[in-house]
Amino acid sequence: MTPSRGGLLAKTDKGYYTVYNRATKLPEGGFVKSFAGGYNVAKGVGRMLRQAGGVEYELTYKKVKNLNLRLAADGHVAVSAPRRVPLAEIDAFVSSRAGWIDRARARRTPLPEPPGDEVCRAVFAPWLEKYAPLFGGMPQVRLKTLRSMWGCCRPAKREITLNRRLAAAPAAAVEYVILHEYLHLIYPDHGPAFHAALDAMMPDNRARRALLRGGADWKNPDSVVE
């Protein structure tokens, strides 16, 4: 944006236009960048770029009834809103969905190759062997490369499935997931009895679960344990 006698010059795809405060009409699609680094829009402009909650998004005013947010395949965030909705309310709307946007983008990002089966079994073995005597012996353990969960259990078959990517997680998180799945051999759901047993056997289980949300090289987008 360039200073001019009349105010500021805003460059759009149709050339330079002088901007007087926020009253000048620009061609549809013209963006006006403020000195503060944020983006404002002159009256009459249908689209603008804004940032809220760490998310940069393109706002388009349309004849719609509600706020709508869309995430494009390239990660671009687009929001449509009625003109009556204040910008502060739109920013708050986007901020409230920042976590969902991050997770959705992560799901579209290719994950690194997981460790091989030999490595995985070596990592999991100490914890599987530690808890096996408490749960009637070693269950059948399967390894899979999963994108949406760290592990799952089939009590009827005494079968535990562990995500290969878990082998790259911190040891405390690995132990948590393995105990979690062992407990499902007795408690199939996540009811009060399950959580009471988990709290008794691993009082710091919530802190360990939180570790699953760290480490960009190995984390799963949803960090789900079933």
Give me the mean pLDDT over the 44-72 stretch.
85
Query: Smallest Cα–Cα separation from 10: which of 36, 54, 40?
Result: 40
DSSP 170: -
Range list of H helices, 98-158? 98-107, 117-131
- Asked if residue 162 and residue 103 are part of one domain, the reply reads no
- Asked if residue 144 and residue 85 are part of one domain, the reply reads no
**Sign (positive or negative) of CA dihedral 183, 188, 193, 196:** positive
Say how many domains are in the chain: 2
In a domain, 222, yes or no: no
Dump pLDDT digits (tens) for 149-169. 899 999 999 999 999 999 999
Q: What single letter denotes the amino acid at residue 70? A: R
Half-sphere exposure of 150 (CA within 13 A, CB side): 28
In a domain, 226, yes or no: no
Q: Which of 76, 107, 138 is the last residue of a domain?
A: 107
Give me the mean pLDDT over the 63-71 stretch.
89
- Asked if residue 78 and residue 32 are part of one domain, the reply reads yes
Q: Which of 107, 129, 155 is the last residue of a domain?
A: 107
Scan for tokens 């562990």, then name that residue.
Answer: 162
Q: CATH number for the domain including 143? A: 3.30.2010.10
Question: Quick one: what percent of the chain has pLDDT higher than 90?
Answer: 51
- Asked if residue 201 and residue 125 are part of one domain, the reply reads yes
> What is the span of the domain harbouring residue 81?
2-107
